[in-house]
Every structure is written in structure tokens, then in C-alpha cells.
């Protein structure tokens, strides 16, 4: 059931992964969507408009562009964009971006804001602890202080990361084709569970929050849909695609070469920092929560095959 048949939900990051999935899911429910974009002519923005979204130009780094985007909105789905500089996270800029959106929403009289941040690594810990960044924690705190009906979603690693997210920047994740089939390289121990989530399920939880604001107001949900080991995930991909895939864990020296952020994340994981979403409890809230096998069947296997067969 749509929140409003006339007032739109403003979706930020709408040309990205989480925002795009959420915008499409809201539109499928008959909910008007206003997409905040920096470039309305970008292919992803054009596709959103074709799907029925209203495009509005705006930028977190230009707070003066936000009031028009929020005028008359029934709610906001926000993905505060991370800021990374030459020396690592730019926490001040990341927090400024998140606060700019929150302040603009409050000024516009918008009561409900659903923010997607990042998973924490133990009950009661801050989001972003795995990488040593506290920007998301500061944004979440500000959200709860300022907004009447706040909801925070904290997703773990995306299933779509197997399609290559992070490869160009950090030299990990994705699947690289080779003469034997393909290899997935990451930080995780090969035989320990590793929680993952489908982008579509992040969108489902966002829609649930917008549909029942009082039920989800003030709540923080750690989101995961499955927890295969990396070797089990590789085996599942092999079965689903017909392409032999193996898993390799980065050594400490390889992680160091990939960069200080990667090395620190590997160190924290080895020290016992783990995502901790309660998958069975989440399935009670959202019975259609996708397993890794579900995602492969639905779209993942075809996308992985296409990625590996694409000309290099």
C-alpha cells in the first residue's frame, strides 16, 4: 500500500544500487517517487524517469539544492554518500552530507526518514566499526535527534558485489575469469560464515518502513539474508552458472598492498569483528527474504555469466 498516492518519497542515491532498487520497488507499489540526481541526463537517471520517477537535480554538497527536492515529500529514503580522500575516510564531509539532508527534511516538515548506513560488527557496536569509520554513527545519532519518525537500515555485504563492486578500487571482490574458470578473492576466511544481503531486500525493508511508519519508527535493523561461507558461495555460483569458481583469501601482505583500509578491515575481522544480523527474525518481518541461492536463480547467475564472458 503506498504511503501517499499524491506526495512522493524522495530517494537519494537513486542512480546507485540501494537507492535505485528502492526507487523501483516503491514505484512498483504505486508510490510516487522523486529521485535526487546530480545529472538528469545520466543513463541511470533517464531509466528512472522512464520507470515513472520524477527527477530533481540536487547534491548533498550543495545544501541550497535540497529544499526544492523535499517540498511536499511524504518521506525520504537516504543513503549518505561516503567520502574517501587520499588519506582515507573524510569523516567530516560524510557527516556534513548526512546532516544537510536531515536538516533539509526537518525544515521541509518531513517527519519520516529511512536511512541506509552500514552493518555493525557486534550487538551495540557502531556502524562502520569494521573499517574504523564512525561517520555513519554520527549521522545515525543526528537522525534520531532531529527526525520524528527515523528508521535505520544497516545492510551487510551486497550479493551483487560478486559482479565486481570494489575490484577497481581495492583489488578485491568480484570474480575474475581465468583459464580454470574464475576466482573470487576477498578478506574472509574460506570456511567461516559470511553474511550477505540482496539489494532488493534492502528495498523491501524500506518499503515496509514507509508503509507502517509507527511500527518501524526509532528502529535500527541489521540486514542480511544468508550467511554462506566463501567456499560454499563459490560452489553455489559454480552450480548455478556452470563455470568453475574457486575462492582465495587474501594474505596479510596482499591486503597491505591493496591499501590501509583493506588491511585494517582484514585485521579487525581476524580479531573477531563479525556482522550479526538475526536472519531468522528478519524473515519473520519479511518472509520473502532472499537466500544466496534465491539471488543466483533470480538474477545473479545470469549476471555473473555475462560478466565473465564479456570482452576484457
Residue 1 lies in a domain: no
Residue 62 and residue 207 share a domain: yes
**Residue 53: predicted pLDDT:** 98
Task: Give the single-character DSSP code of 64.
Answer: G
What Å distances lie between residue 281 and 123, 198, 261, 285, CA to CA? 15, 16, 32, 7
Residue 106 and residue 14 share a domain: yes
pLDDT along the chain (312 residues), means of 10: 82 95 97 96 96 96 95 94 70 92 97 95 67 80 97 96 66 82 94 97 98 96 98 98 95 89 88 93 98 98 89 54
Residue 102 and residue 231 share a domain: no
**Residue 182: predicted pLDDT:** 92
Chain length of the chain: 312
Residue 297 and residue 217 share a domain: no
Residue 13 and residue 124 share a domain: yes
**Residue 132: predicted pLDDT:** 55
CATH of the domain at 105: 3.40.50.720
Residues 6+ apart with CB under 8 A from 247: 183, 184, 185, 186, 190, 230, 231, 233, 234
**Residue 57: predicted pLDDT:** 96
Residues 6+ apart with CB under 8 A from 233: 162, 184, 194, 196, 247, 292
Please tell me the total count of domains within the chain: 2
Residue 240 and residue 98 share a domain: no
**Residue 188: predicted pLDDT:** 94
Radius of gyration (Cα) for the chain, nearest Å?
19
- What is the spatial distance between Cα 202 and Cα 112, in angstroms, rounded to a whole number? 17
- Measuring CA to CA, which residue among 56, 44, 5, 57 is closest to residue 27? 5
**Residue 166: predicted pLDDT:** 47
CATH of the domain at 262: 3.90.25.10
Four-point Cα dihedral 75, 109, 69, 214, nearest 10? 0
Residue 136 and residue 126 share a domain: yes
* pTM exceeds 0.85: yes
Residue-wise pLDDT for 231-272, tens only, equals 999 999 999 999 999 999 999 999 998 888 888 889 989 988
Supply the range of the domain harboring residue 188. Answer: 160-194+227-273+290-309
- Measuring CA to CA, which residue among 14, 204, 12, 21 is closest to residue 98? 12
**Residue 168: predicted pLDDT:** 43
Residue 110 and residue 173 share a domain: no
**Residue 121: predicted pLDDT:** 85
**Residue 125: predicted pLDDT:** 65
Amino acid at each position: 500500500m503506498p504511503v501517499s498516492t499524491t506526495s512522493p518519497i524522495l530517494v537519494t542515491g537513486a542512480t546507485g544500487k540501494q537507492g535505485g532498487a528502492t526507487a523501483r520497488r516503491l514505484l512498483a507499489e504505486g508510490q510516487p517517487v522523486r529521485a535526487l540526481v546530480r545529472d538528469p541526463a545520466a543513463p541511470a537517471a533517464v531509466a528512472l524517469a522512464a520507470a515513472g520517477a520524477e527527477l530533481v537535480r540536487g547534491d548533498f554538497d550543495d545544501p541550497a539544492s535540497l529544499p526544492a527536492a523535499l517540498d511536499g515529500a511524504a518521506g525520504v529514503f537516504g543513503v549518505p554518500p561516503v567520502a574517501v580522500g587520499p588519506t582515507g575516510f573524510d569523516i567530516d564531509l560524510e557527516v556534513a552530507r548526512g546532516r544537510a539532508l536531515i536538516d533539509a527534511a526537518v525544515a521541509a516538515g518531513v517527519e519520516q526518514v529511512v536511512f541506509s548506513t552500514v552493518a555493525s560488527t557486534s550487538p551495540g557496536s557502531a556502524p562502520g566499526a569494521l573499517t574504523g569509520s564512525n561517520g555513519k554513527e554520527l549521522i545515525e545519532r543526528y537522525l534520531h535527534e532531529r527526525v520524528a519518525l527515523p528508521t535505520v537500515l544497516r545492510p551487510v555485504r551486497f550479493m551483487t558485489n560478486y559482479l565486481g563492486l570494489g575490484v577497481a578500487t581495492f583489488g578485491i571482490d568480484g570474480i575474475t575469469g581465468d583459464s580454470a574458470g574464475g576466482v573470487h578473492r576477498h578478506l574472509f576466511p574460506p570456511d567461516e560464515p559470511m553474511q550477505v544481503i540482496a539489494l532488493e531486500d534492502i528495498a523491501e525493508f524500506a518499503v515496509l518502513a514507509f508503509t507502517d511508519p509507527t511500527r518501524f519508527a526509532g528502529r535500527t535493523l541489521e540486514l542480511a539474508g544468508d550467511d554462506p561461507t566463501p567456499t560454499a558461495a563459490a560452489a553455489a555460483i559454480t552450480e548455478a552458472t556452470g563455470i568453475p569458481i574457486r575462492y582465495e583469501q587474501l594474505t596479510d601482505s596482499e591486503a597491505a598492498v591493496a591499501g590501509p583500509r583493506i588491511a585494517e578491515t582484514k585485521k579487525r575481522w581476524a580479531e573477531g569483528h563479525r556482522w550479526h544480523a538475526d536472519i531468522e527474525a528478519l524473515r519473520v518481518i519479511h518472509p520473502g527474504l532472499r537466500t544466496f541461492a534465491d539471488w543466483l536463480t533470480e538474477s545473479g547467475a545470469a549476471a555473473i555469466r555475462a560478466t565473465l564472458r564479456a570482452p576484457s
